[in-house]
């Protein structure tokens, strides 16, 4: 994986559908989480272990976005990392067989974020990730994956915009609970627009990630994944995890 590409993620990569470093990051996080869960809980039910590994792996990938420069060359805007966070929450909702996999992933990210000292709202920061995680569980089944590419982009843009609005709503609720007047919404309107806009832009990343999952492994990939993986990265691992995903 190219180091420069792993550090910066801009409009050109999104437009050209260059998801290599994102998929590599997710693959490594999922493989390591799966190895950890299996080693620490050898007697756990296979389906439960798989879901737990997915939740941990995607949560690690989301936390990893804090180290990635998203959309370089523009002023920092609230919610700009929705471009990656929204697709990753959708991926968790799609990969897990348990109910509310997106919500559990969001809760995991929120708790780790609070314990790590990120955010400015204390324990209420958990809602910042839990709300869009729950929305991923609810909205993803509404997407018609067999429709035309333009319509898929529109659907994911609407889902991403709604999840961006959910992240803003969670933040704004914290502000109101802190005692700010309702008029504060006018002051925070640019934040709302930014969160929703970047959520909509995430449609291109969501399609890139989920199409890898939905199309399933090729014949060659099936043969490779049937063999014991070597190292952290197993080709086709994410596609093979999608065998029992939500439709």
Model pLDDT for residues 188-221, shown as the tens digit of each residue: 788 889 889 999 999 988 888 887 666 544 334 4
How many angstroms separate the Cα of 74 from the Cα of each of 1, 6, 78, 168, 190?
25, 18, 12, 21, 16
**Residue 73, token pair as written in the block:** 């060359």
Share of the chain above pLDDT 90, in %: 24
Residue ranges of alpha helices (H) inside the chain are 3-7, 11-16, 20-40, 46-64, 82-95, 101-115, 127-139, 149-177, 184-187, 189-201, 203-214, 219-226, 237-241
DSSP codes, 92-153: HHHH--STTHHHHHHHHHHHHHHHTT-SSSGGGGGHHHHHHHHHHHHHGGG--TTS-HHHHH
pLDDT of residue 199: 92
Query: Rounded to an integer, what distance in angstroms lies between the CA atom of residue 216 and that of residue 49?
Result: 21
Return the bridge partners of 184, or none: none
* pLDDT class of 7 with cuts at 50, 70, 90: very low
How confident is the model over 213-232, as a mean pLDDT?
Answer: 46
- Report which of residues 72 and 233 the model is more confident about: 72
For residue 179, pLDDT beyond 90: no
pLDDT of residue 67: 62
Q: Where are the domains of the chain?
A: 3-244
pLDDT digits (tens, 9 = 90+) for 97-149: 888 999 999 999 999 888 887 766 677 778 889 999 999 999 999 988 777 88
* pLDDT class of 228 with cuts at 50, 70, 90: very low
The overall pTM is greater than 0.95: no
**Residue 221, token pair as written in the block:** 């990939």
* Spatial CA neighbour of 51 closest among 41, 64, 65, 66: 41
């Amino acid at each position: 994986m190219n180091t420069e590409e792993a550090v910066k993620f801009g409009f050109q990569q999104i437009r050209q559908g260059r998801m290599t470093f994102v998929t590599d990051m997710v693959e490594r996080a999922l493989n390591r989480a799966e190895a950890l869960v299996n080693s620490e809980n050898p007697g756990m039910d296979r389906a439960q272990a798989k879901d737990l590994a997915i939740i941990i792996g995607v949560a690690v990938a989301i936390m990893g976005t804090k180290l990635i420069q998203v959309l370089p060359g523009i002023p920092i805007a609230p919610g700009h990392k929705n471009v990656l966070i929204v697709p990753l929450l959708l991926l968790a909702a799609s990969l897990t067989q348990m109910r509310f996999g997106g919500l559990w992933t969001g809760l995991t990210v929120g708790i780790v974020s609070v314990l790590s000292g990120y955010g400015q709202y204390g324990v209420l920061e958990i809602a910042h990730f839990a709300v869009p995680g729950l929305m991923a569980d609810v909205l993803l089944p509404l997407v018609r994956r067999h429709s035309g590419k333009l319509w898929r982009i529109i659907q994911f843009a609407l889902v991403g915009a709604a999840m961006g609005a959910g992240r803003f709503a969670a933040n704004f609720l914290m502000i109101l609970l802190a005692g700010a007047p309702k008029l504060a919404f006018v002051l925070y309107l640019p934040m709302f627009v930014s969160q929703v806009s970047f959520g909509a832009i995430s449609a291109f990343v969501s399609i890139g990630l989920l199409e890898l999952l939905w199309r399933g492994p090729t014949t060659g990939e099936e043969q490779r994944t049937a063999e014991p993986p070597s190292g952290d990265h197993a080709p086709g691992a994410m596609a093979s995890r999608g065998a029992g995903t939500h439709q």
